[in-house]
Amino acid sequence: MLHRIWALQGKVVPKRLCSHGLGAIPTRGLRNSCCFLRNRIRLQQIVAGQVSLRDAIQQEVGVIQGSLDEVLAFLNRHVEVDPSFPAFAGWCFQQHIPLTVLSGGMRQVIESLLRPWRLPSVRILANEVKIENNRWHLEFLDSTDWGHDKGAALREAKKAGQLTVFLGDGLSDRGAAVEADIVFAKAGLARFCAEEGITFREFSSFSEVQDVLSESV
């Protein structure tokens, strides 16, 4: 049986937003439309090891102002989840394939964005957002510099004897790509895999991945 592990990415269009991978969050008083993780210099610092992704994300979240309900309502109006994902998740469920969303972002945000499709079979592993005295911060899943070591879920699945398939595109996906049996990658993750000699297949949508995997089920 195949064990699918997916790092879900959303499409962010609006400006003046603080992006955290899957979605975007309004930041009152933030003049620069490019936030920390979208800033090229910041990304270079993370890659060079000058700042951890964990610290960068925490600083990014710290500029958010507003209640959780306000932020979630804003995201639901402005953030689009890949429209092929619900069908892909349904296909995995029909094939009895466990599907996990791995994210360095916020669990509450991901759950809110996916709620309209009613996908109870999808497991979500992401950081927990906490708001105290109107200040936002994250409780990370682990103590690593990533804040969430996505490779840990792959190692757990492989230890249980499952074939792992990982799909991703970003910096925080590198650890999982190293661990996975099968990798689908695009953007920065595809470049990383090519540089490191990791076998991967490029993809552009969930439906494309479904077509490939259906041949082996």
Pairwise CA distance, residues 16 & 21, whole Å: 15
d(CA 92, CA 101): 13
Out of 13-22, 37-46, 84-93, the most confident range is 84-93
Q: DSSP H helical segments within the chain, as ranges?
A: 40-47, 53-62, 68-78, 85-94, 107-114, 151-159, 174-179, 187-196, 206-214
Q: What is the pLDDT of residue 22?
A: 32
Q: What is the pLDDT of residue 148?
A: 87
Q: What is the pLDDT of residue 32?
A: 30
Whether this model's pTM surpasses 0.75 = yes
Question: pLDDT confidence of 23, banded at 50, 70, 90?
Answer: very low
Domain residue extents for the chain: 2-10+80-127+143-214, 17-78
> Hey, which CATH number is domain 2-10+80-127+143-214, 3.40.50.150, 3.30.70.890, 1.20.1250.20, 3.40.50.1000?
3.40.50.1000
pLDDT of residue 159: 87
What would the mean pLDDT of 198-213 be, rounded to a whole number? 93
Cβ contacts of 170 within 8 Å, gap of 6 or more: 7, 9, 21, 187, 188, 189
Mean pLDDT of 124-145: 90
Asked if pLDDT for residue 27 goes beyond 50, the answer is no
For the chain, the average pLDDT equals 78
CA distance 79 to 113: 8
Say how far apart CA 82 and CA 11 lie, in whole Å: 7
